[in-house]
Amino acid sequence: MQQHLSVVGIDLAKRVFHVAGMDERGKIVLRKRLTREALLPFLAQLSPVLIGMEACGGAHYWARRLREHGHTVKLIAPQFVKPYVKSNKNDPADAEAICEAVTRPTMRFVPIKEVEQQDLQALHRARERVIKARTALVNEIRGLLGEYGIVLPQSVTKFRSGFLATLEAERAKLTALGQELFGQLYEEFGALEKRLAYYTAKPTVCPSVASRNLLLYQSLPISIPCRHANVRRRKDQIPPDLVVKFQAVDIVEVIELSWSDEAHPKVV
């Protein structure tokens, strides 16, 4: 039965995965329940097929692993799979729906992230969490000081520059315990600042993407149309890192160069 497979849909999970397979005519010929340890060995022994998965937690990891075995892997946003579920939502039905959705000619797919891109994404998320923690801490300190009649201006910048001076000037309003408490809170603020500086100092573009986009920039024609206006920009008017910056924040999913003739190049 497996030799007739042309499309495989996988409903991802943490421990137990459901796999569905279709033949060339779109008929479901495989339904299988696999553990995490058995999934990769099972798919590795199949002939290269088209594999579809929802773009959820762990999807990019499995996509990279399956590509190593010669399969073509496509990731689909969950909201685009839902219309193809034919019965009550359950894991086997989801796997069959993914099988059908991945074969649609107009389906939009999610680009598969490389490991370096996921590192960059994790870095941004960690940095964002530290920023939120710092903001929450500053607001807490301002609120607590307000109960003692000490008012600090808003914004982290003003807090950073004026907290110690204000605390020293209003020392008479605080007890020894209060002074010690706010000193500890300010040390916590300093620790968050150091962590934020660490994340900020890290590269904001993964090397593989930067290298690929630099080659793309070097291959651009002399004149290309601007994506956001009905004007044409000369190549020397476009910063070399423009495409790199867009790719780093996933604004541009896929960048390809195509043209009908040399006189009318276009960026797709």
pLDDT digits (tens, 9 = 90+) for 48-107: 999 999 999 999 999 999 999 999 999 999 999 999 998 888 999 999 999 999 999 999
CA dihedral 23, 84, 54, 56 (to 10 degrees): -160
Please determine, for residue 127, whether its predicted confidence score (pLDDT) is greater than 80.
Answer: yes
pLDDT of 41 above 80? yes
Indicate if the alpha-carbon torsion angle 175, 181, 187, 188 is positive or negative: negative
Token pair, residue 1, equals 């039965």
pTM of the model: 0.69
The stretch 124-149 carries a mean pLDDT of 95
Q: Please give, one letter per residue, the 3-state secondary structure of 191-251.
A: HHHHHHHHHHHCCCCCHHHHHHHHHHHHCCCCEEECCCCCCEEEHHHCCCCHHHHHHHCCC
When pLDDT is averaged across residues 222-232 and rounded to a whole number, the result is 44
Q: State how far the alpha carbon of 15 is from the alpha carbons of 36, 39, 112, in Å.
A: 5, 10, 22
Flag whether pLDDT at 8 surpasses 70: yes
In eight-state DSSP terms, residue 47 is P
How much is the pLDDT for 4? 82
Percentage of the chain beyond pLDDT 70 is: 75
Rounded to whole angstroms, the Cα distance separating 188 from 174 reads 19
pLDDT of residue 255 exceeding 70, the answer is no
What is the DSSP secondary structure assignment for residue 110, as one 8-state letter? B
Is residue 213 very low, low, confident or very high in pLDDT (cuts 50, 70, 90)?
Answer: low
Q: Strand 50-54 relative to strand 72-76: parallel, antiparallel, unpaired? A: parallel
